[in-house]
Amino acid sequence: MRTETTNPTPLGEEAIQWTEIITPQRGWLEVRWRELWQYRDLIYLLVRRDFIGTYKQTILGPLWFFLQPLFTTVVFTIVFGRIAKISTDAVPAPLFYLSGIVMWQYFADCVSQTSGTFTANAGLFSKVYFPRLAVPISRVITSLITFGIQFALFLCFLLFFELQGAPIQPNFRIIVLPVLLLMMAALGLGVGCLVSSLTTRYRDLSVAVGFGVQLWMYGSAVVYPLSEIPSAWRWLLVLNPMVPIIESFRFAFLGSGVVEIWQLAMGAGVCVLVLLSGILTFNHVEKTFSDTV
């Protein structure tokens, strides 16, 4: 809570140290970061809740997290590798697709988990106040756990193909992974916040999210390498931060790809922009959303 020392009494009473002032409107830029920090325990407990909830409610438990990328990899290998014969930059096809899928899945999770924040939590939000941002932030962290499991699967594949003598060169650039994750989390959170804020007014948007994310995947170098795109058009694709993120991941772990550092930097810039606009919109909607839902 903010500590303000405004004294609203014109009556000459002693100055009252109000700890909280509730006002009609909140400025677009007024995000209560300190309050969010005070609620960090809530974020931790929400992560815990979501994690336990996910595990206990599925029959296969954590196995599910392995099966989903495995099946997708098999399908992609057959459809895009064998039938469509799209290049995989000389990397073994399963490894190529799995790397894209594992990374893409984290981003897609972030978006799908956060984009319903207001509508899914309408009951909770209309009963008790806490910084609403805690919910999407906790979702992004929970998705990180799923990513960890799927990343471990990817490492197993990597080790297997490495021992088979496949032409892959994991290199020192793997230290960039935390940056890539941060970028995806920022982008996913930003998009999710934007969507969830807009769905409080426009219900039809929530329908669009599912296939929107699906379409986005086909524009994100998951099923094809950036090198397949004519270099004259690459700049256009690089506007989508997921392209340099996935390409950088492959470049670091598989040693393949044509990504350049400026592309990654530009991607980071777009991520920050999306995150900021997402959080500001979310923050603006937060205060009056219970009147509109």
Closer of 10 and 165 to another protein (Cβ): 10
| 3, 16, 21, 68, 213 from 9: Cα distances, Å | 17, 8, 13, 62, 53
Residues 6+ apart with CB under 8 A from 290: 122, 125, 126
Instruction: Give residues 248-287 in contact with another protein (rule: CB under 8 A).
Output: 287
Nearest CA-CA partner of 186 in 153, 233, 137: 137
User: Exposure of 139 by Cβ count < 10 A (0-12 exposed, 13-18 middle, 19+ buried)?
Assistant: buried
Instruction: Verify binding: residue 21, another protein, rule CB under 8 A.
Output: yes
Instruction: Verify binding: residue 291, another protein, rule CB under 8 A.
Output: yes
Q: State how far the Cα of 118 lies from the Cα of 290, in Å rounded to an integer.
A: 9
Whole-angstrom distance between the N-terminal and C-terminal Cα of the chain?
26
Q: State how far the Cα of 133 lies from the Cα of 197, in Å rounded to an integer.
A: 11
Closer of 10 and 178 to another protein (Cβ): 10
Query: Taking the complex as a whole, how short is the minimal distance between the CB of residue 49 and another protein, in angstroms?
Result: 5
Please say whether the beta carbons of 107 and 188 come within 8 A: yes
Contact with another protein (CB under 8 A) among 62, 63, 82, 126: 126
Closer of 42 and 86 to another protein (Cβ): 42
Please say whether the beta carbons of 204 and 232 come within 8 A: no
Contact with another protein (CB under 8 A) among 33, 34, 53, 79: 53
Cβ neighbour number for residue 67 with a 10 Å cutoff: 11
Instruction: Verify binding: residue 23, another protein, rule CB under 8 A.
Output: yes
Instruction: Verify binding: residue 48, another protein, rule CB under 8 A.
Output: yes
Task: Enter the tokens of residue 173.
Answer: 């650039």
Residues 6+ apart with CB under 8 A from 137: 36, 43, 189
Instruction: Verify binding: residue 39, another protein, rule CB under 8 A.
Output: yes
Number of residues this chain uses to bind another protein (CB under 8 A): 46
Task: Enter the tokens of residue 76.
Answer: 């992609």
Query: Taking the complex as a whole, how short is the minimal distance between the CB of residue 11 and another protein, in angstroms?
Result: 11
Instruction: Verify binding: residue 56, another protein, rule CB under 8 A.
Output: yes
Closer of 54 and 240 to another protein (Cβ): 54
The stretch near another protein (CB under 8 A) out of 52-60, 91-99, 164-172, 276-284 is: 52-60
Instruction: Verify binding: residue 41, another protein, rule CB under 8 A.
Output: yes
Instruction: Verify binding: residue 3, another protein, rule CB under 8 A.
Output: no
Instruction: Verify binding: residue 169, another protein, rule CB under 8 A.
Output: no
Instruction: Verify binding: residue 26, another protein, rule CB under 8 A.
Output: yes
Closer of 25 and 164 to another protein (Cβ): 25
Instruction: Verify binding: residue 290, another protein, rule CB under 8 A.
Output: yes
Residues 6+ apart with CB under 8 A from 285: 118, 197, 200
Q: State how far the Cα of 250 lies from the Cα of 102, in Å rounded to an integer.
A: 11
Binding site for another protein (CB under 8 A): 1, 8-9, 16-26, 38-39, 41-42, 44-46, 48-49, 52-53, 56-57, 123-130, 198, 201-205, 287-288, 290-292
